[in-house]
Structure 1
Amino acid sequence: MSQPQGTIYIVVAPSGAGKTSLVAALLQAEPDVELSVSYTTRAPREGEVNGKSYHFVDRRQFEQMIAEGDFLEYAEVYGNYYGTSARWLRERLAAGRDILLEIDWQGARQVREVFPDAIAVFILPPSIAVLESRLRGRATDSEEVIARRLSEARSEIDLVAEYDYLIVNDDFATARQDLISVIRCQRLTASKQLQRHGSSIAAMQTAR
């Protein structure tokens, strides 16, 4: 038996679609999936831990990392940089670990240029009206910010044909199980199972 190389899973969603909660539920259900911890130049929020929530760096350091080619993907969002470490990702994949990237559509495109076999999942709200209700329910954003997020959501939803799987987060329990099913389905492909159980399968084939 040999350990197949890990798989990259990309999860993208408009703000307010429930991506963070679904990813947390997935990681709890599937501990063999590792969440890639992004680098960012934004300030830590209350409760966030450096190295666990994000790797918090200043803008100068981030731009130096860009120049040195340290990032698999990066983007500037709302005035702050976010990026994924290329070295860490490749090391973990080679060790057979499945890696989840919780990134935006720009990052998803960049990753798939390098790793075309990465599995991309888009989380949809049941409707724009529900999305707006969720954003307002947070009670953290101004009207201007809500309007901008809704406009961006419409633009992101225009790109759904680029993704391998679409999950509608109407009922959380159902969406959670759908996301878990994507991971489990990919692990059962013939190519990966042949790597894991090749010798056992070969023995059964020759046992006439």
Structure 2
Amino acid sequence: MKKDHGLLIVLSGPAGVGKGTVCNALRDVDDSIAYSVSATTRAPREGEKDGVNYFFKSESTFKEMIANDRLLEWAKYVNHYYGTPLQYVHDTVGSGTDIILEIEVQGAAKVKERYPEGIFIFLAPPNLAELRKRIEERGTENLDLINERMTVAKEEIEMMAQYDYVVENDQVEKAVQRIQSIVEAEHCRKDRVIEHYRQLAEVK
């Protein structure tokens, strides 16, 4: 059955939970899902490329995007801005292609206000000790920033109730399989397909 409208899939969770790793692994095994590249004012980490991992923007440029309503959502997180360019998302789902957004919890809440029909998945760590270990192993934050991220993470986990699904990232491959199962099930929801089959029933 041809999809007339794609799904907007929102994946978010605490910093360090592995959102980027899971999204990259999903892209490796499923090229039917488009990946929305976020904009940010933070500096690129080693190996990150502009337009691939993020659109790296100056703070003044980012604020212009906010003022011109060119972002589906945006948030300021640990002194940096993050946001999702609006037009690419609209064009992609309008063409019948699913798109996944990898964003912070604050941003996910804003997307839900503007796009409540989206599929919201919270990526959870096995436990907080493992989350801290993952953040420390990145080697990109000092102790104060790690502690700040852990404080924020506890607050974000309390927001899990606002999501449709929770996927534990205990193993990347298993997390990817769970997300694929969610997407497949969502495409089979009655309210997404019933009009298509009603139209078929009317054809003589």
How high is the TM-score relative to the length of structure 2?
Answer: 0.89
- Alignment of 1:19 with 2:10, yes or no, is no
Q: Distance in 2 between matches of 1:150 and 1:13?
A: 12
Tell me what 2:116 maps to.
Answer: 116
Q: Based on CA coordinates, which of the two structures has the bigger radius of gyration?
A: 1
Query: 2:171 maps to what in 1?
Result: 171
1:91: Cα distance to partner?
A: 1.4
Supply the RMSD in Å over aligned alpha carbons. Answer: 2.2
- Per the alignment, residue 41 of structure 1 pairs with 41
- Structure 1 residue 60 and structure 2 residue 54: aligned? no
Q: For residue 106 of structure 1, report the CA deviation from its aligned partner.
A: 1.2
Aligned residue type for 2:87? R
Matched AA of 1:126: P
Is residue 85 of structure 1 aligned with residue 85 of structure 2?
A: yes
Match of 1:202 in 2: 201
Distance (whole Å) between structure 1 residues aligned to residue 148 and residue 80 of structure 2: 16
For these two proteins, the number of residue pairs brought into alignment is 204
Higher mean Cα deviation, 2-11 or 39-48? Answer: 39-48
* 1:159 alignment partner, SS class: helix
Q: Which amino acid aligns with 1:202?
A: A
Contact 2:25/2:172, CA 8 A, preserved across alignment: no
Shift of 1:113: 0.8
Would the alpha carbon gap of residues 141 and 56 (structure 1) be closer, same or farther in structure 2, given more than 3 Å must change? Answer: closer
Q: Report the residue type matching 1:15 in the other structure.
A: A
Do residues 183 (structure 1) and 159 (structure 2) align? Answer: no
Which stretch shifts more, 64-73 or 189-198?
189-198
* Alpha-carbon distance in structure 1 between the residues aligned to 2:140 and 2:52: 24
Instruction: Give the unaligned 5+ runs of structure 1.
Output: none
Q: What TM-score comes out, normalization by structure 1 length?
A: 0.87
Residue aligned with 2:15, SS: coil
| In the alignment, structure 1 residue 134 sits paired with structure 2 residue 160 | no
| Structure 1 SS opposite 2:181 | helix
- For 1:130 and 1:60, the matched residues in 2 are separated by 36
- Quick one: structure 1 residues 140 and 40, their matched pair in 2 at CA, closer, same or farther if it must change by over 3 Å? closer
- SS state at 2:42 partner: coil
